Amino acid sequence: MGKKILVIGACGQIGTELTMRLRELYGNDAVIAGDIREGSEELMASGPFEIMDAMDGNQVEDICLHYEIEEVYLMAAMLSATGEKYPDKAWKLNMNSLFNVLDLGKEKKIDKIFWPSSIAVFGPTTPQENTPQHTVMEPTTVYGISKQTGERWCQYYHDKYGVDVRSIRYPGLISWKTLPGGGTTDYAVDIFHKAAAGENYECFLKDDTQLPMMYMEDAIRATVEIMEAPAEAVKERSSYNLSGMSFTPAQIANAIKVHKPAFEVSYQPDYRQAIADSWPGSINDDAARKDWQWQPQFELETMVAEMLKHLS
Ligand code: AKB
């Protein structure tokens, strides 16, 4: 019998596509989807599903023991923009869920953990361009603080208790299948839905705000690849920088206009501008390239063409 996998937060933006990919790779019955709410029809129909609360340690443990889970992907989190509205809830969800899973690793009840970090671990004092793997990290959002703290705990559980936990600092992720929720980079998905519907878009960031981004297909491949890498190749046990592309709202608008010449974007920055301003504009991912041979495949133009093809 092959390994059994649990995806917690399986119905979210990353979780949905990750669960479907893992089911393709390891078999539908081998991948248990867990979330606090039901997800897409495709996800619900294709394999086992459990309603679960990532903050309930007993429930997470019961499900792991019941299905004899070996690997857990913990994708449940509150993102940057929503986190600023509900700081207590963001902290509790992002930290408690991580400890629940790390402790199962410490007690040897599961073998391997994937936990996503984010470019939000960086802050205004971080070098903004080509941000190195190891650098100043003074995040200013609750989400960023929770991710940076989580990274330190991942490293600690690995070093002290031998927990095989692996992590990536995701940039903003762009996909046509599932909508993001509550992030600062969400504009880069919303803009496609408007363009595909033949409508104009009002952007909540300024036109020249450059952020690191990635097409979901690359992000899912990176996630599977780091989990498949031999343990000794995974040298960073906090989290890996990962880079796909970097662009501003004006640049993505122009790339969309190549396909949709009538498309117009106006700019009305809100509270999310300050969050974006605190994050890097581009990321150095040499460590991921060297340690587990990471290679992105999508650039701005190829990503825009794919998004519009699928949404139109
Ligand atoms: C967000 O905008 O909060 C997320 C992230 C960069 O982690 N997409």
The number of beta carbons lying within 10 Å of the beta carbon of residue 66 is: 10
Residue 166's domain comprises 5-171+215-241
Residues 222, 209, single domain; the answer is no
Residues 207, 236, single domain; the answer is no
Alpha-carbon dihedral of residues 50, 51, 57, 63, nearest 10 degrees? -10
54 in helix, strand or coil?
coil
The number of beta carbons lying within 10 Å of the beta carbon of residue 194 is: 19
Residues 116, 158, single domain; the answer is yes
Looking at the predicted structure, is the pLDDT value of residue 1 above 80?
Answer: no
Residues 142, 24, single domain; the answer is yes
Q: What is the mean pLDDT of residues 44-64?
A: 98
Residues 167, 256, single domain; the answer is no
The amino acid present at 298, given as its one-letter code, is F
Confidence of residue 180 (pLDDT cuts 50, 70, 90): confident
How many structural domains comprise the chain?
2
**119 Cβ below 6 A of ligand 1:** yes
Residues 33, 19: contact at Cβ < 8 Å? yes
Residues 265, 201: contact at Cβ < 8 Å? yes
Q: How far is the CA of 134 from the centre of ligand 1 (A)?
A: 20
Q: Which of ligand 1's atoms lies nearest the C-alpha of 180?
A: 8
Question: In sequence order, what are the beta bridge partners of 165?
Answer: 113
Cα–Cα distance between 15 and 8 in angstroms, integer?
8
Residues 275, 229, single domain; the answer is no
Q: Take atom 1 of ligand 1 and give the residue whose Cα is closest.
A: 183
Residues 149, 182, single domain; the answer is no
Residues 111, 141, single domain; the answer is yes
Q: How far is the CA of 241 from the centre of ligand 1 (A)?
A: 14
Residues tagged active-site:
143
**214 Cβ below 6 A of ligand 1:** no
Which tens digit of pLDDT belongs to each residue from 208-248?
999 999 999 999 999 999 999 999 999 999 999 999 999 99
For CA atoms 62, 63, 68, 71, give the dihedral sign. Answer: negative
Residues 110, 185, single domain; the answer is no
**What pLDDT does 181 receive?**
86
Which tens digit of pLDDT belongs to each residue from 130-172?
999 999 999 999 999 999 999 999 999 999 999 999 999 999 9
- Please report, for the domain that includes residue 129, its CATH number: 3.40.50.720
Cα–Cα distance between 105 and 186 in angstroms, integer?
32
Looking at the predicted structure, is the pLDDT value of residue 38 above 90?
Answer: yes
User: Over the chain, what is the mean pLDDT?
Assistant: 97
- Please report, for the domain that includes residue 292, its CATH number: 3.90.25.10
213 in helix, strand or coil?
strand
Cα–Cα distance between 277 and 79 in angstroms, integer?
16
Residues 52, 60: contact at Cβ < 8 Å? yes
Q: How far is the CA of 143 from the centre of ligand 1 (A)?
A: 9
Q: Which of ligand 1's atoms lies nearest the C-alpha of 211?
A: 6
Residues 283, 194, single domain; the answer is yes
**What pLDDT does 69 receive?**
98
**79 Cβ below 6 A of ligand 1:** yes
Cα–Cα distance between 301 and 287 in angstroms, integer?
26
Q: Take atom 4 of ligand 1 and give the residue whose Cα is closest.
A: 183
**183 Cβ below 6 A of ligand 1:** yes
From 85, 93, 170, mutation site for ligand 1 pocket: most ligand atoms within 8 A of C-beta? 170
Which tens digit of pLDDT belongs to each residue from 273-309?
999 999 999 999 999 999 999 999 999 999 999 999 9
Cα–Cα distance between 70 and 138 in angstroms, integer?
34
From 184, 214, 271, mutation site for ligand 1 pocket: most ligand atoms within 8 A of C-beta? 184
Q: Take atom 6 of ligand 1 and give the residue whose Cα is closest.
A: 172
Cα–Cα distance between 157 and 232 in angstroms, integer?
16
Cα–Cα distance between 167 and 155 in angstroms, integer?
10
- Residue 131 phi, psi (nearest 5): -55, 125
Site of tokens 């070093």: 159
From 14, 80, 205, 278, mutation site for ligand 1 pocket: most ligand atoms within 8 A of C-beta? 80
Cα–Cα distance between 267 and 265 in angstroms, integer?
7
Cα–Cα distance between 114 and 92 in angstroms, integer?
19
Query: Residue 310: CB partners within 8 Å, gap ≥ 6?
Result: 176
Residues 265, 236, single domain; the answer is no
Q: How far is the CA of 211 from the centre of ligand 1 (A)?
A: 10
Q: Take atom 7 of ligand 1 and give the residue whose Cα is closest.
A: 118
203 in helix, strand or coil?
strand
Q: How far is the CA of 78 from the centre of ligand 1 (A)?
A: 9
Which tens digit of pLDDT belongs to each residue from 99-133?
999 999 999 999 999 999 999 999 999 999 999 99
Q: What 8-state DSSP symbol labels residue 234?
A: -
Region of residue 182 (left: phi > 0; alpha: psi -120 to 50; beta: else): left
**What pLDDT does 2 receive?**
87
